[in-house]
Structure formats: C-alpha cells, structure tokens
Structure 1
Amino acid sequence: MKLLRELFQVYNFRPEDFKEIQELKKFFNSEQIAKIGKELKAEVIDKFPEYKNLLKNRGVNNELFAETISDFFNSIFEAESLTVTTSTIIKTHKNWNIKSLDFIEVYFSFSEKILSILYDISSKHPELIKNIRKLTRLLFIIAVYFLRSSCKTNAEQTITAADPMTGLPSRYNIQKIFPECVNKDSLFAVVFDIRGFANINTYFGYEVGDSVIIYFATFLKETFLEEFCKGYPNIFRLQGDQFFVLIKGTQEKVEEKVKRFLEKIKGKPIKIPLEGDRHTLDIILISVGTNVNVCQDISNLLWILENSLREFKKTQKDGFFFIDETIKERCQRRKENVALVIKAIKENRVTFAFQKIIDLYSGDIFAYEVLARIKTKDGKLIPAGVFIDDISFYSLDGDLDKIVIEEAIKYKAKTGMKERLSINISNALLEGNVDLLERVTRENGVPPKEIIIELMERQNLTLISHLKEKIAYLKKLGFKIFIDDFGVDYANFHLIETLAIDGIKIDGRFVRNIDKKILDREFVEFVLSVARQLKVAVVAEYIENQQILKIIKDLAKDFNVLGQGYLFGKPEVKE
C-alpha cells in the first residue's frame, strides 16, 4: 500500500486529480463494465490457455470475473479504495502464481477499453479531454505499481543501494561482490541496452518510460534470474536503460540463450493505451557480451562492455554481439588515452605546436594551425592524433580545447604575432562553451579576425544544437570559420552550402596519395570546383613533396589554394 502512495507523490497525482476524474465515472454503466469483464476473461483463455484450469478450479466463472473487474474499475476513482484493491490483486497473483507479464498485458487491454469508450464520448464532449488524459496518467501509475510489486527479488532486503524502481541491485553492488564471487572460467557478462529509450520518455511521458523499464526488468528476471552470490541475484541495473546480467555456461550456450531471449521479447511488445487506442511499443534491444576473464577487475570489464556497446550502436540497430579481441583492444586503448589526457590536464602537461598554412602561389604564411600536444614526464610529445578520437567519446576534447585556446592566444598576444591562428574546436566546446573564444580574445587584446575556427567534421556537426546561430554569432564577432577533415565520415556538401563558412580543409587522406590514386584526384578536383562556385577558401593538407604540390596547383588552375604539410615545415612546439 505504501508503494502506491509513494507513486502518487512521485508522479504528482494529487487528491484534486482524483476528484476531477470522478466526473468520468458517470459515463459508464454496469452493463458496459460487465461486458468488458467477459471480453477480458475470453482474452485470458485465448492468449493464456494455461490459466483456464486455474480459473475453473478457483470457481471463477464469467460472472465472478466480471464482478472483479467491476470492483477494480470502481476503485480507480478513489485513492484509498484503489490502494486496498491493488494490494489485494498483488497478493492474489502471488498465491495463484500468475505471471506478472501476462497480467500486465490484460491490464493494458482493460485500460484501452475504458479509454476507448471515453474518447468516443469526447467527440461530443471535448471538455472531457483534460480529465481523460489525467485518467490515462493514473492508469500508467497503476501499471508501474503492479510491475514494481512483482519485480522485487528475494534478496532485496539484503541489498544496499538497490534500484528503487526495479528492486535490482545497482552498479555499486557489482563492484562490491565481484572480486570474491566470480568463477571466471565459465561466466559471461552481458549488457542489455534499450534503444531510443529517451524518445519513449519524450513522446509518451515518464509514466510510460518507467513502465517500459520495469516491464523489461521483469522479462529479464523471468528468463535469467538465479541467486548469484551472498544473496545477490545475477541481474543488475547499471543506469537508465542499461542492465547487466551474469550468465554461466559456454559461449555457445550463452549466445543461444541471449538470442532466444531477444526473439521472445521482440514477439511480446508492450501494448499501451494511448488516446483511446492500443499502441504497440516495441522494445528494441542491443546487447554485448564477453567472458569475465578478459579483465582483472570489474571496472575494466564494465568499461569494455559499455564502450563496445557504443561501437556496435554506430552500425547496428539491434541484436547480440560477442566482443572480439579487436574491440577489446580498442576499448582498452581508449581507456588508457582517456586516463592519459585526464592526468595531463591535472598536471599541466598540455601544450601546443604551430604548423604553417601556406599560400601556394605567393609562398606567404597564411596562418599557423594550433595543434594540441601532451608532454610525457620524460619530455616526449604525444600528438593529438593518438588520443583525440578516443577522448571525444567523453567530451574531454572540450576541456583540452579550452587549455590550448587560452595558451595559444596568450602566446600570440605576448609575442606580438601578426599571423592568423587556426584553431580546432570540438563539438563539446561549441555545445557548452562557445563564449570562451570571445572572452579569451578580448582579454588578450587579439582581434577575432586573426583567429580561424576549424570545425571538426569527423564529429558530426549536425549534432550541435543551434549550429547556424552559433556560427553567425562567431562570424559577427569577426572570427573566420573553416570546416576541417572535409570528405571524412560525416562530411557532406550540404553543410558548406547551408552554413556561412569561409573555407574548407580537404582531409589529408585524399591528398597524400593524389599522385597515385585517380579517385583521390577526382575528389580533390571536384571540391575545388565547388569551393570556386561558393567563393570559399580551400586548404589542402598533407602536401609532403613537390609532386603533390604540382598536382594541387594544376587542379586549382587560377583558384588560389592554401596548403599545409611537411613540405612547408613540421609542427613546432611553442612554450
């Protein structure tokens, strides 16, 4: 009983809301509710024939079933009555061994029938819509209550930091018991992720989102639940829409079991009442697994699982994937690089180098590109190319940008440099700290017109909120805007057509072999022709020798192209 009252508070369903939905009760009569009861009993027998004998043995005929539905319907409109009735239903289900997922399917069918009647009536009484939507919210709150009540584990009383929604132990509990409870030889760890879960909350509301989480947790328990160690189950809730399951067996058996589970849940979507109709909500899952012996500790294991999941989500919509050695090595490298950058930032070991960007026809220095570097404790320099893609997963590149921007612009002001600086800006900085550029140039007395901002196209610029407005703001201040890495990953010509940019940098992989690969030459020539039409500057990266330089000049013809590469000088570290 306490749980339902708590849910009323969590979802802000107030006593006055109950008073308002009571107005809807008068639109129903006993014959309608009795009819719904008979239809639901027929649905139970049709979908779940295993309950036919149970109902018969318990003496539940059509009339008694309909009477039970009527009692439940009448209780919905009054908080205390609803609390007592729902508690009785939960106890009955436990005594009769009724599966919660079977019950919730019938419950949503009941809700859909009630709401359908009301929405039909609302066509003539539109003033009812507000209260119908309140009743819909209440029906979902009741669904959350039913699912949560059935979702508790036997071990819940012994678990500290248990997830309050599902009753499952949390990430903290995995870390607590893992070292002493894991037999690593025949144990696999699997992470399940509900795809698009944020959209469920956005489109349908948090009551529906919570219903989906608990529904899925219940499904996991019915398939995988067993006591693991010290009273803990083998299923944990990692965060939001992610769950962690430990499964014993060979790799083949584990894979078979997980794939069978995915097929089962695909065949049982959650059917929710929405706007007077029943909406089928598919739960789309992507999951990854590995033997737990790949790591010495749980932190590394979770890192590999969660980062592998990120990798697979780039290319896969759903399914189950075992993590191979390549993925493990990539995840391990990413972890090491993230640790490297965090430590370098903390210990003030971030510096920068300048590399010339040359006007290919006059030979003058057009600008210096500012390149991030990390100094190791023994004085070696690590270029950004080693770690930049790895840290962008965690928006650490924004922190790195801030340091490099501040230090490079201070250096320019202190030394009186007249040449422009061309600075890479990550999505992370543009998303949350775009004012930094204006502040740093103003504080150091550097005109924004002497700063080129390079947007890194490999990070998918379209994900930046209000991108056009941010670029317009920076250009109004006087900054020049170039797109870096053009032609790689997310690059597309629509961007340079729709964004008010000043230049593009052709990614070096199309330039370095232009003397050997005809397709690279064709691509560069096409980019130059588009840039000529749009009247934007072009920088060709990776000009390493005279032959490449000659080809670029020949392709450009009368178009003034800029160049960058070892032919003009290697990056030089500035202190």
Structure 2
Amino acid sequence: MNITFQEFLELYDLREEDLQEFSVLSNLLSKEEKETIGKRVRDFVFLYLPRSAKLLYDMNLKNAFSGTIEKFIDVSMLNSQLALTYSNALARIHRVNIDIPPDDFLKDYLVFLKNILDKVKIPTGKEKTFKKYIFFLTAIGFYIAITNIKETIEEIETDPITKLPLHTFLCSNFSELVKKRRTVVLLDLENFKEYNTIYGYRIGNTILSMIAEILKTFFEKDIILRFQNDEFFIFTDKSLLETRNVLQKIRKYLQENTLILADKNFPIEIRLDFTSILLRVENTEFPDPKYLLWILYNKLKDIEDKTFEKMHIVSFSEQEHYLEVFKTMLTILNVLDKNHVLLAVQPIVNLLSGETVFYEVLARIKTSNGIISPNSFINYVNDNSIEEKIDSIVIEKALSLLKENCFDKISINLSFNSLKNRFLWFLSRINDSKDLGEKIVIELVERRNPLHLKSIKDKIETFKKLKMQIFIDDYGTEYSNFSLLKNLEIDGLKIDGAIVSNLGKDIVDETFIKGTLEIAKFQKLSVVVEYLETKEQLKRSKELAKKLDYQDLLAQGYFFGGSVHRTV
C-alpha cells in the first residue's frame, strides 16, 4: 500500500497547522552548529556504514552529504510544505537512485536526531513546539524506511524449498526445542555449492529437497530445520551414540545410492556427503540460541581435516572452552561499543644510530577487571572478524596523537579486511589534515589468505601518493609471506618475533633473517626485528647486518623499551 507523507503524519495526529509552528525554531541552531551536525553525521557514516560511505564516495557526494543535512534542518524548520516535498524526494532517492541499505539509513538518521538534541538549547515556552518538531523528524525517518520496503514483511518460518522450519523457528521456539531434546546436530552438506554453481539453482533446490526428505525419513519424529544455504539442524530425542548411528546410516545410504537428476537432455550424477557436529543438550542450559550456535560453528571451524572423519562430537571440555571464548568475545564487543580501548606506544629504533625512527601504536582492551593483554584478545579479534572495528578506533585515536603533535611519526596496524572495507573512511580521516600522510607508517596485518591482490595494490598506491610508508607485519608467518613482498609496493618488513627470538639458537630461523636482509638490501627496504629482548639477539642482529653491509636494520622490543600507555 502506497501512502503519502501527509497521510503518514495524520496517522500520528500531526496536522499542517502543527508543522507551521516549526518556523519559530529557525533561530535555535546557528549556521556553525548546523555545519557541525552535518559533519558529525557524515563522519558516523564513514566510520560505521561502509556500504553507504562507498556509495557517497562513488557518487562524489562526500561534501554534499553534510550540506544536504544542513539544508534539511532549514527547510523542516522554516517551511512545512517544503519539508513534505523534501521527505518524499529523500524517500525516492533513497529507494531508487542510491539504494542505501535501510538499516544503514536508520542508524545514520538516529545519529542526526541525537546531534540535534545535543546542540539545541530550547528557549522557555517553546518546549511543546520542540517536542512536536522532534516527533516530526522521527516520523520522516520511519516514513523513508517504510517507503523502501517493497513487500509486506512477514516472519517466514517455513522454507519454501524443503518445507522445513527456518532459523526464525529456532529463535522463537528455542527453549522448548532444547528442553525436550537430548541431542542437536549441525549437518553441513558438502559439494552443494559446486553443484548449485555449475548446474543452477533448479538442480540445487532439487538436491536440498531430496536431502530434506532423507533426513525426515531417518529422523521421523524429530525436529529438522534448514538453517542457511546447505546447513541443517536436527533436534532429536536420541542419545549421542544413537544419533551418530543414524547419521552413519544416512551416509551409507548416500554412498550406495547416487542421485540421478535430469538437466535438459542429459542426466547428472550427484554424489553427496556431509560433515556433522553433535552436541549433547540434555540437562544443559543455554540462555539463548547464540550460545548453542557459537559452540557448533566453532567446532565446525576447528575441524582440520573434514575429508576423513565426518562426524564430530563436542566434548564437555570443548563446550566449556567455546563458552569461555564467547564470554570473552562479548566483553571485547562491549568494550568496543563503549570505546574503552587504550593506546600504548613502543619505539622502533635504528640499530646502527640508536635513534628512534617512529613509534608503533598498539591497542589495549580495558575492562572492569583491568587491562586485557594483546595476546589474550588478538586471536579472538582476528578469528571473529571484528578487527575492522578495533582498527577504526585505534586509527581515530592514533591520528589524534599526530594532530596534537605528540609524535613526529607513528605506525598503525591495518588488517586486510579494514583495507578492503574501511579504505574510504580512512582516507577521509587523513584528508582532514594537511601533510598527515608522511607521518604515518601502515603495518599490513594478514592472518588469512589475502584475496584480490589487485584491489589491495590499488589502495596501497593511493597511500603512497599521500607519502605514507607501507610495511608488512609479522613477515615470515602465516600469510605475511614472500608473495606479498613480491607483489606489493612496500617500504619495509617486520620479521615476526617468533623468528627473532631464535637468533643464535636456530640455524633455520637465522638463515631466514639473513636471506630477508639480503632481499631488503637489494630492494632498498627497511627491516624491523620484532620482540628483540636480549643482548644476544641484539648482537646477532648487528653481526648479520654488518656482514651484509645493510644499513637500514630497525628493532623493536623490551630491550629498547616496553609499550607505554597514552591517553587520548
């Protein structure tokens, strides 16, 4: 059903004469205050709403965005008819031209309202009018969001393909499901994506329907859900052992009965298998589905070899471990939401001259129980893809240190995820200050296989144009390897501390360091040896550099000073 904005307001008993009163509020905000609100909302978008930020950048609307907000404040206060027209135009642009995600819009709009409330000092006697005005602005936000919904939103609990309940059923019936069942199974169908991609969704949907029917046959009286894509959940009264036996029968059935599906003029042989995670839920309390899902999906992620053993039971000790990790994750997320991230800085020193070249900015998580060391939280951050958020907070605080002239030069860790998703926001922060780039060293951190190297190279080229230096962090471990050195235009490497700690002890690690210095000399790169903590490590580092006549060896570690907390 289409509804005009006028009709929408009438639903909430807001009439034209009410809107006309807003003209008396025109002087409550100065030009400077409106500009500040516009810029703050723009900054919020570029920090927290990357999809919307990219659209604004792609359409060259970065500066126009804050100007649009200033204009909207004016028209909504001075002319109610203009505001009606403007809101309808916003809805059309939002839906058709820009297609900003509705959830992004609502977050952005709520920040706009908060800034209005923070800035306006309401004169005596105008409180009632101001309340109406804020209600009016709130209504506009909901009107635009509703205009974007093309179909009536219904909570669908049945999958139209398999006729099984969906994840919404799990959320709304979780307590009953867990209370009345002994075992839960996460079943992950293998090779489905390949079949779906090669032969199309019709064959893919047929496979899902057939698997659903097989599961219903073997788990006749149990609850089976299609959770997402090629994953199924089974809530059963059977014990762990009984459930395992049934799953083995299903696997045997699939192995002995190749599915034959017709595609146009030729038959397709479908060979299916699955990996399953079994968890005993009998007499176990889970506050909500998130805890259960966390355990099952983390167990699935931890399975190193899925090709040999297909069924895995979550032990009690594993369950306790996953729940402990989950609680730590919730603590970290809570800290990030409240921005309780501390900065620490550590000097990076030239080994030959002894001079400090720059300082690395490090993150520390502050909780009610004290500060969590980086070794305690860094794996959680990396494994659960929230490094973007912590990167953004650290970058914001680190740039403040530079703008306050606390340091001449700093290095900032930037994950490949942040480089991919927060690049435009980061550029906007750099461009706010002149010549800030030449004071920044970017330390690229990658603990997963980096994809789309071409896109990364393009972004690094942009950094280089702003006179930033680029270092590869943790070089020699995981994915911080020779491929990055060979393919990216960098200025330096940081050899991982696990390798540096073996200087004078391990011939392989020492040979690796020597080889890295030879390459760095040829490529005219700087090298930082991390975690340098002993006189022996310092001595061997200098000897290697001297033997190769390598002049640009830097060091970082407690031998030159530990990390020092800085307040921003």
TM-score normalised according to structure 1 size: 0.65
Q: Distance in 2 between matches of 1:502 and 1:279?
A: 53
Alignment of 1:359-398 (within 5 A): 359-377=350-368, 380-398=370-388
Which residue of structure 1 aligns with residue 559 of structure 2? 567
Aligned partner of 1:337 among 328, 351, 374: 328
Q: Aligned partners of 2:563 and 2:317: how far apart in 1?
A: 31
CA shift in 2, pair 1:267/1:535, >3 Å: farther
Larger-Rg structure: 1
Change (3 A) 1:325 1:362: farther
Shift of 1:482: 1.3
Q: How many equivalent residue pairs?
A: 407
CA drift at 1:183 = 5.7
Q: Secondary structure at the match of 1:387?
A: helix
Q: Distance in 1 between matches of 2:235 and 2:158?
A: 17
Q: CA 1:299–1:438 in structure 2 vs 1: closer, same or farther (change >3 Å)?
A: closer
Letter in 2 for 1:524: I
Give the distance between the partners of 1:467 and 1:195, measured in 2 at CA.
31
Matches within 5 A, 1:381-460: 381-418=371-408, 420-460=409-449
Q: State the shift of 1:262 in Å.
A: 2.3
Equivalent residue, structure 2, for 1:133: none
CA distance in 1, matches of 2:545, 2:444: 23
1:300 aligned residue: 291
Query: Is the Cα contact below 8 Å between 1:225 and 1:235 reproduced in 2?
Result: no
Letter in 1 for 2:338: E
Q: Distance in 2 between matches of 1:542 and 1:526?
A: 19
1:164 equivalent in structure 2: 160
**Distance 1:243-1:464 versus aligned 2 partners, 3 A rule:** farther
Answer yes or no: is the 8 Å Cα contact 1:457–1:486 preserved in 2: no
Cα deviation per residue 1:431-453 (whole Å; 9 max; x = unaligned)? 21112232112213352122111
Letter of the structure 2 residue corresponding to residue 568 of structure 1: F
Q: Distance in 2 between matches of 1:464 and 1:390?
A: 25
**1:319-330 correspondence to structure 2 within 5 Å:** 319-325=310-316, 327-330=318-321
Q: Report the equivalent of 1:85.
A: none
Aligned partner of 2:490 among 478, 501, 515: 501
Instruction: Assess, with a 3 A threshold, how the Cα gap between structure 1 residues 372 and 203 changes in structure 2: closer, same or farther.
Output: farther
Distance of 2:452 and 2:185 partners within structure 1: 29
For residues 222-233 of structure 1, the aligned pairs below 5 Å read 222-226=217-221, 233=222
C-alpha separation in 2, matches of 1:353 and 1:273:
63
Structure 1 pair 554/429, CA: closer, same or farther in 2 (3 Å)?
Answer: same
Percent identity of paired positions between Structure 1 and Structure 2: 31
1:221 paired with 2:216, answer: yes
Partner-residue secondary structure (3-state), 1:569: coil
Q: What CA distance in whole angstroms lies between the structure 1 residues aligned with 2:351 and 2:484? A: 26
Task: Report Cα offsets for 1:191-248 as digits up to 9, x if no partner.
Answer: 011245444444333223222222222221122231xxxxxx4211222221111234
- CA offsets, 1:492-545, max 9 Å, x none? 312211222222111111112323333322332232233333332211111011
Q: Determine whether 1:179 maps to 2:175.
A: yes
Question: Is 2:316 the partner of 1:316?
Answer: no
Q: 1:491: which partner in 2?
A: 480
For 1:442 and 1:270, locate their aligned partners in 2 and report how far apart those are by CA, in whole Å.
59
Residues 519 and 330 (structure 1), Cα distance of their counterparts in 2 relative to 1, 3 Å cut: farther
1:181 Cα deviation after fit: 5.1
> Aligned Cα RMSD in Å?
2.6
Letter in 1 for 2:199: F
- Mapping for residues 27-426 of structure 1, pairs under 5 Å: 161-180=157-176, 182=178, 187-195=182-190, 197-226=192-221, 233-274=222-263, 276-293=265-282, 295-297=284-286, 298-312=289-303, 315-317=305-307, 319-325=310-316, 327-377=318-368, 380-418=370-408, 420-426=409-415
Shift in CA distance, 406/331, structure 1 to aligned 2, threshold 3 Å: same
Cα deviations by residue, 1:15-36 (Å, 9 ceiling, x for unpaired): xxxxxxxxxxxxxxxxxxxxxx
Give the superposition deviation at 1:415. 2.6
> TM-score of the superposition, structure 2-length normalised?
0.66
Q: CA deviation at 1:261?
A: 1.8
Conserved 8 A contact 1:413-1:446: no
The one-letter amino acid paired with 2:480 is A
Paired residues of 1:427 and 1:464 also in contact (CA < 8 A): no
Could you say if the C-alpha distance between residues 544 and 293 of structure 1 is closer, same or farther in structure 2, counting changes exceeding 3 Å?
farther
Partner of 2:444, secondary structure, is: strand
Distance 1:449 1:200 in 2: 50
> What are the ranges of 5 or more consecutive residues in structure 2 without an aligned counterpart?
1-154
Task: Report SS of the residue matched to 1:348.
Answer: coil
Match for residue 58 of structure 1?
none
- Distance in 1 (alpha carbons) for counterparts of 2:513 and 2:553: 12
Partner residue of 1:98?
none
Distance 1:461 1:188, change over 3 A: same
Amino acid at match of 1:346: D
- How far 1:293 moved relative to its partner? 4.4
Gap change, CA 1:551 and 1:330, over 3 Å in 2 = farther
Unaligned segments of structure 1, at least 5 residues: 1-158, 227-232
The worse-fitting range, judged by mean Cα deviation, of 506-515 and 170-179 is 170-179
CA spacing shift, 1:510–1:325, aligned 2, 3 Å: farther
Q: What amino acid maps onto 1:493 in structure 2?
A: F
Given residue 562 of structure 2, which amino acid in structure 1 is its aligned partner?
Answer: K
Change beyond 3 A, Cα 1:496–1:195: farther
In 1, are the aligned partners of 2:178 and 2:282 still within 8 Å (CA)? Answer: no
Q: Kindly indicate whether the alpha-carbon contact (under 8 Å) linking 2:501 and 2:532 is maintained by their aligned counterparts in 1.
A: yes
Q: CA deviation at 1:464?
A: 6.5
Q: Is the 8 A contact 2:341 2:366 kept in 1?
A: yes
- Secondary structure class of the residue paired with 1:345: helix
Q: What's the CA shift for 1:470? A: 2.4
Q: 1:462 aligns to what SS in structure 2?
A: coil
* 1:329 Cα deviation after fit: 4.3
Relative distance call for 1:333 and 1:553 in structure 2 (3 A) is farther
Ranges of 4+ aligned residues in structure 1 off by more than 6 Å: none
Deviation at 1:398, TM superposition (A): 0.4
CA contact (8 A) 2:345 2:563 kept: yes
CA contact (8 A) 1:431 1:465 kept: no
